[in-house]
């Protein structure tokens, strides 16, 4: 009793791919949520070792899919082999990283304020604290990272690490990939004797599946990577529930790059080429693609513009993920190209052999035009960027104030140039208010998965600026603290018992044992 079938399309050829995959209807959605809720008590009770071993097995099973997975991803997304293999390594790497996080136990934030029976005027009770998972999590897979932000991507890995069952809404652009990875996870669930509802994947189009998932009372949190419109509609649906739930939506960012005079003077052409390489990576279909460049007027700016233009013009067309993404890219670039005061600098070469192709675009404008046209800071998903000539530091300050929240903000400076140094010292405190990650002399594409990374930022980059969707802190999104007062030792959760039997580095009276 499913709601029909869904086929992927190869964006390189435009051909429909076999087989069709069943689309989940209301009954399947309700069943997945019911199973997830049933599984919650048992799954969250797994100890650190068992849960970590499960995550490691998920990674092993994904690797065991071998080249069949890589070939299917390439067919469904048009992404090149090196990228797909790299993304697979990132995906299994972050599953194993979260296994190590689970084993470490610091994420529990376990702490004890011991009883003080003789305190006056009142004795102090024994208080202990740990973090527990919120409940089943709905994960909305992204189109542009068919492995790392999809069925067994970062949201899934961090939710499973937190002890939360996961119901994934697969992205309809890569159903075969989703089916293969989903099967690998389900096999790991079985191998570790976990309840069936620990993990499930639902496939479907559009809003109905998403809205049903987010409003199901058994779903307690949502992870989402996608468009601003999609993210905000889930946020609204979650807030309108009788019991609202958090939505961790990673949405929209143009990742501004700021070029200081010393950097331009010293290496304008080199920066132009490096910028074009970052912009055209993956046909620009990255959350961190540099969509805006602010360059302070002066020596080297022309060289930057010329080199970037030449590099973009020489960039061959590349497949985009879907015809819908291509249509939105066309609309966005046409709108930009036709805006008064905006010049088209360059367009990549065409390739008629690609059915759904992106020809990168580069535009130029001045600060006054940029400030007068708020739509110029809207994201155009794909390889399109706007260079803005900025008159002076004061105008740059006005522009920084006008920008929306971002995932990243990048500064290029000449390290030994006192002028750049002074400008950077003034700008960095403004940029850290604007973005989740601030870079110097690099490019925002390429996100490290580690302990110190932040993939997040103020609205509308995300709906939850205090969180990150990449890196070990991502687990915190699915947890909340609980305090235990005067609970008899044998009824306490094991990690909170005297003597730290699970080695989670219990913090006593605020004195760190190394937990968080």
Task: Output the smallest distance, CB 3 to a second copy, in A.
Answer: 31
- Choice between 80 and 415, CB closer to a second copy: 415
Which of these is catalytic: 33, 76, 179, 287? 287
Query: Helices 66-77 and 81-104: crossing angle, nearest 10°?
Result: 120
- Contact map string, positions 96 to 125, toward a second copy, x by CB under 8 A: ----x---x-x--x-xxx-------xx-xx
Stretch that binds a second copy, among 137-145, 148-156, 289-297, 488-496 (CB under 8 A): 488-496
Q: Which two tokens stand for residue 98?
A: 């979260």
For a second copy, the binding residue among 27, 480, 494, 503 (CB under 8 A) is: 480
Task: Output the smallest distance, CB 408 to a second copy, in A.
Answer: 8
The rounded distance, in Å, linking the Cα atoms of 252 and 378 is: 8
Is the distance from CB of 515 to CB of 105 less than 8 angstroms? yes
Note if 33 is an active site residue. no
Q: Applying CB under 8 A, does 47 fall inside the site for a second copy?
A: no
Q: Which two tokens stand for residue 474?
A: 């991502």
The rounded distance, in Å, linking the Cα atoms of 426 and 91 is: 38
The rounded distance, in Å, linking the Cα atoms of 309 and 305 is: 6
Task: Output the smallest distance, CB 85 to a second copy, in A.
Answer: 10
Task: Output the smallest distance, CB 313 to a second copy, in A.
Answer: 26
Q: Applying CB under 8 A, does 487 fall inside the site for a second copy?
A: yes
Task: Output the smallest distance, CB 459 to a second copy, in A.
Answer: 5
The rounded distance, in Å, linking the Cα atoms of 61 and 73 is: 16
Q: Which two tokens stand for residue 126?
A: 């024994």
- Contact map string, positions 220 to 259, toward a second copy, x by CB under 8 A: ---------------x---x---xx-x-------------
- Choice between 204 and 457, CB closer to a second copy: 457
For a second copy, the binding residue among 128, 169, 212, 497 (CB under 8 A) is: 128
Tell me how far the alpha carbon of residue 141 is from its chain's centroid: 10
User: What is the 3 state secondary structure string of 87-149?
Assistant: HHHHHHHHHHHHHHHHHHCHHHCCEEECCECCCCCCCECCEEEEEEECCCEEEECCCCCCCCC
- Choice between 1 and 41, CB closer to a second copy: 41
Q: How many CA atoms lie within 13 A of 451 on its CB side?
A: 6
Size of the site for a second copy (CB under 8 A): 83
Task: Output the smallest distance, CB 480 to a second copy, in A.
Answer: 4
- Choice between 23 and 427, CB closer to a second copy: 427
Q: Applying CB under 8 A, does 64 fall inside the site for a second copy?
A: no
- Choice between 337 and 487, CB closer to a second copy: 487
Hey, which residues between 135 and 194 contact a second copy (CB under 8 A)?
135
Hey, which residues between 399 and 458 contact a second copy (CB under 8 A)?
404-405, 415, 421, 424-425, 428-429, 432-433, 435-442, 446, 448, 450-454, 456, 458
Q: Which two tokens stand for residue 356?
A: 């759904």
Is the distance from CB of 336 to CB of 342 less than 8 angstroms? yes
Where are the alpha helices (H) located in 245-345, listed in sequence order? 261-280, 301-313, 323-337
Those residues with Cβ within 8 angstroms of residue 382's Cβ, 6 or more apart along the chain or in another chain: 283, 284, 285, 320, 325, 326, 328, 329, 332, 333, 358
Task: Output the smallest distance, CB 39 to a second copy, in A.
Answer: 14
Q: Applying CB under 8 A, does 499 fall inside the site for a second copy?
A: no
The burial class, CB within 10 Å (0-12 / 13-18 / 19+), for 86 is: middle
- Choice between 9 and 479, CB closer to a second copy: 479
Classified as helix, coil or strand, 484 is strand
Task: Output the smallest distance, CB 396 to a second copy, in A.
Answer: 17
Q: Are strands 406-412 and 257-259 parallel, antiparallel or unpaired?
A: parallel
- Choice between 186 and 473, CB closer to a second copy: 473
Hey, which residues between 380 and 399 contact a second copy (CB under 8 A)?
none
Note if 287 is an active site residue. yes
Hey, which residues between 75 and 94 contact a second copy (CB under 8 A)?
86
Active site residues: 250, 287
């Amino acid at each position: 009793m499913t709601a029909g079938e869904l086929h992927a399309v190869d964006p390189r050829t435009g051909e429909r791919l076999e087989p069709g995959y069943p689309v989940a209807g209301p009954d399947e959605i309700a069943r997945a949520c019911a199973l997830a809720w049933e599984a919650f008590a048992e799954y969250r009770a797994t100890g650190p070792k068992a849960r970590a071993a499960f995550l490691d097995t998920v990674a092993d099973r994904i690797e065991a899919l071998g080249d069949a997975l890589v070939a299917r991803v390439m067919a469904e997304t048009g992404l090149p082999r090196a990228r797909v293999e790299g993304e697979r390594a990132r995906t299994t790497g972050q599953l194993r990283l979260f296994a190590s996080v689970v084993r470490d136990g610091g994420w529990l934030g376990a702490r004890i304020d011991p009883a003080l029976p003789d305190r006056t005027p009142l004795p102090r009770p024994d208080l202990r604290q740990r973090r527990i998972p919120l409940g089943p999590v709905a994960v909305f897979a992204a189109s542009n990272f068919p492995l790392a932000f999809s069925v067994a991507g970062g949201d899934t890995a961090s939710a499973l690490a937190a002890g939360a069952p996961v119901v994934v809404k697969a992205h309809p652009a890569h159903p075969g990939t989703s089916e293969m990875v989903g099967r690998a996870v389900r096999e790991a669930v079985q191998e570790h004797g976990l309840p069936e509802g620990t993990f499930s994947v639902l496939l479907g189009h559009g809003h109905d599946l998403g809205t049903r998932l987010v409003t199901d009372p058994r779903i307690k949190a949502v992870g989402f990577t996608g468009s601003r419109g999609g993210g905000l509609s889930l946020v609204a649906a979650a807030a309108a529930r009788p019991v609202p739930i958090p939505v961790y939506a990673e949405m929209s960012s143009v990742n501004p790059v700021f070029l200081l005079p010393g950097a331009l003077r010293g290496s304008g052409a080199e920066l132009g080429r490096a910028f074009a390489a970052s912009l055209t990576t993956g046909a620009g279909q990255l959350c961190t693609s540099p969509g805006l460049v602010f360059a302070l007027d002066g020596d080297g700016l022309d060289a930057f513009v010329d080199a970037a233009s030449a590099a973009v013009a020489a960039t061959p067309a590349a497949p985009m993920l879907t015809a819908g993404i291509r249509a939105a890219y066309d609309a966005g670039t046409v709108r930009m190209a036709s805006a008064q005061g905006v010049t088209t600098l360059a367009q990549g070469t065409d390739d008629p052999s690609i059915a759904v192709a992106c020809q990168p675009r580069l535009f130029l404008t001045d600060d006054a035009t940029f400030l007068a046209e708020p739509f110029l800071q809207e994201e155009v998903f794909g390889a399109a960027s706007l260079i803005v000539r900025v008159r002076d530091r004061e105008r740059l300050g006005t522009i920084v104030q006008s920008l929306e929240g971002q995932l990243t903000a990048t500064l290029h400076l000449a390290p030994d140039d006192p002028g750049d140094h002074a400008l950077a010292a003034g700008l960095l405190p403004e940029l850290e208010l604007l973005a989740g990650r601030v870079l110097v002399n690099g490019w925002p594409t390429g996100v490290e998965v580690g302990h110190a990374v932040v993939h997040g930022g103020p609205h509308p980059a995300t709906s939850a600026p205090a969180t990150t969707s990449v890196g070990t802190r991502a687990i915190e999104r699915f947890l909340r603290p609980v305090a235990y007062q005067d609970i008899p030792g044998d009824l306490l959760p094991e990690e909170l018992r005297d003597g730290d039997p699970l080695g989670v580095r219990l913090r006593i009276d605020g004195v760190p044992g190394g937990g968080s």
